[in-house]
């Protein structure tokens, strides 16, 4: 790209700041509580031509600093993203390139889905439970849905799998059904997504699906640790009981950690190939690899294969609001992202007001790069 070619990375600034949720987030089938505030790190890059861009990144300054003095086109291409050696600045380099080119990232990626994308609230956990004290009950969970609806959400992802760890199996399974039905009753037009965090087995998943078949679930995410045989059982049950429901998989690496990070970040390439192959067999509809841990550039490289398999993607975005925005930029740019995971909250010193949520749709800013300001 001619416009990027005259720039050399001249210096960097690193910042530690704090992400804050509007309410504390509790438990899912595997772990909790997920808390309220968290340290996060950002890096701003400056070029010798006076351009700058920034992004959230890891805590280490060592790897990014090694890129000072390098020519921008040797590290980044608008067509393919960050070179492997520059992945530590994947987000900041996309922001920088967008600012130099005068384009929002979603447009730089192709604007295949415009600048608006459906979003769900990803912050409804086991809000009826408190394994460390008095249980607030299901009314609290509905209150939290209402709080998110007041913030512009229309769709909700419910954590299920209470019977895996935090309740007796039968009582937990019954509560999952009760909560699903209750949210459907209170929000008749909502897309309801459910996420088991692998807290069921295939037979239990089928029993759950049978009990909520009339709730018109939008998707079922990681209800058990995926196997081809298990997914075939689930697909059959969906065909019979709830044919519009999507199967979403691929957030969990099941201990298969790529370390050090490879071309697909912390995902083994063979694992992603297997997930895409399951997509081609119509056993997974939506792939969920994390926008941060797999990476923005990695998702750009994987999405064409996902599309060729006839599947879709929705990069996992918990636990940071900015990950929602990055996933949405990717989805609007490349298409094939039916809905993004909404993570609520703010980050001290960051103005993300260009992103707005209304009636279950996230609208992206027209501003260059990711359209967020770091003060």
The reply to whether 251 sits near Mg ion by the rule CB under 5 A is yes
Determine the interface stretch with Mg ion among 83-91, 243-251, 303-311, 360-368 (rule: CB under 5 A): 243-251
DSSP 123-148: EE-STT--TTS----HHHHHHHHHHH
CB nearer Mg ion, residue 95 or residue 176: 176
The reply to whether 249 sits near Mg ion by the rule CB under 5 A is no
Kindly state the smallest distance separating residue 329's Cβ from Mg ion, in Å: 21
Kindly state the smallest distance separating residue 129's Cβ from Mg ion, in Å: 18
Tell me the Ramachandran region of residue 259: left when phi exceeds 0, alpha when psi lies from -120 to 50, beta otherwise: beta
The reply to whether 198 sits near Mg ion by the rule CB under 5 A is no
Kindly state the smallest distance separating residue 58's Cβ from Mg ion, in Å: 22
- Of 17, 30, 116, 119, nearest to 344 (Cα)? 119
Kindly state the smallest distance separating residue 77's Cβ from Mg ion, in Å: 32
Q: What letter would DSSP give residue 261?
A: E
Token pair in block for residue 28: 């899912």
At which residue do the structure tokens 């939290």 appear?
144
Which residues are paired to 117 by β-bridges?
Answer: 362
The reply to whether 341 sits near Mg ion by the rule CB under 5 A is no
Interface with Mg ion (CB under 5 A), residue from 173, 195, 290, 341: 195
Provide the pairing of β-strand 373-374 with 350-351.
antiparallel
CB nearer Mg ion, residue 173 or residue 221: 221
Determine the interface stretch with Mg ion among 178-186, 194-202, 224-232, 322-330 (rule: CB under 5 A): 194-202
- Of 117, 118, 109, 59, nearest to 369 (Cα)? 109
Q: Which residue's CB atom is positioned nearest to Mg ion?
A: 195
User: DSSP 3-state assignment of 95?
Assistant: helix
- The contact pattern for Mg ion, residues 31-50, with x = CB under 5 A and - = no contact, is --------------------
Q: Which residues bind Mg ion (CB under 5 A)?
A: 195, 251
């Amino acid at each position: 790209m001619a416009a990027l070619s005259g720039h050399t990375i001249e210096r960097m600034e690193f910042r530690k700041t704090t992400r804050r949720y509007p309410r504390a987030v509790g438990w899912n089938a595997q772990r909790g509580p997920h808390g309220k505030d968290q340290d996060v790190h950002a890096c701003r890059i400056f070029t010798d031509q006076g351009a700058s861009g920034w992004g959230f990144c890891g805590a280490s300054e060592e790897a990014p600093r090694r890129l000072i003095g390098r020519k921008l086109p040797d590290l980044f291409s608008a067509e393919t993203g960050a070179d492997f050696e520059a992945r530590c600045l994947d987000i900041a380099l996309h922001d920088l390139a967008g600012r130099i080119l005068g384009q929002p990232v979603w447009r730089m990626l192709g604007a295949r889905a415009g600048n608006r994308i459906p979003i769900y609230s990803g912050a409804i956990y086991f809000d009826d439970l408190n394994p460390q004290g008095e249980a607030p009950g299901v009314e609290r969970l509905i209150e939290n849905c209402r709080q998110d609806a007041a913030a512009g959400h229309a769709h909700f992802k419910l954590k299920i799998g209470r019977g895996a760890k935090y309740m007796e199996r039968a009582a937990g399974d019954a509560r999952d059904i009760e909560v699903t039905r209750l949210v459907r009753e209170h929000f008749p037009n909502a897309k309801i997504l459910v996420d088991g965090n692998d807290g069921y087995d295939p037979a239990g998943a089928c029993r759950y699906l049978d009990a909520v078949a009339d709730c018109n679930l939008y998707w079922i995410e990681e209800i058990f640790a995926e196997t081809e045989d298990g997914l075939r059982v689930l697909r059959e049950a969906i065909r019979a009981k709830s044919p519009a429901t999507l199967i979403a998989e691929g957030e969990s690496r099941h201990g298969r950690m790529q370390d050090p990070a490879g071309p697909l970040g912390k995902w083994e390439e063979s694992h992603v190939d297997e997930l895409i192959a399951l997509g081609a067999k119509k056993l997974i509809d939506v792939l969920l690899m994390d926008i941060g841990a797999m990476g923005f550039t990695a998702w750009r490289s994987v999405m064409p294969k996902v599309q060729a398999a006839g599947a879709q993607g929705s990069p996992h975005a918990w636990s940071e609001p900015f990950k929602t925005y990055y996933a949405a930029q990717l989805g609007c740019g490349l298409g094939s992202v039916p809905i993004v995971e909404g993570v609520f909250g703010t980050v001290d010193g960051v103005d993300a007001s260009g992103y707005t949520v209304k009636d279950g749709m996230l609208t992206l800013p027209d501003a260059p790069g990711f359209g967020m300001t770091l003060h």
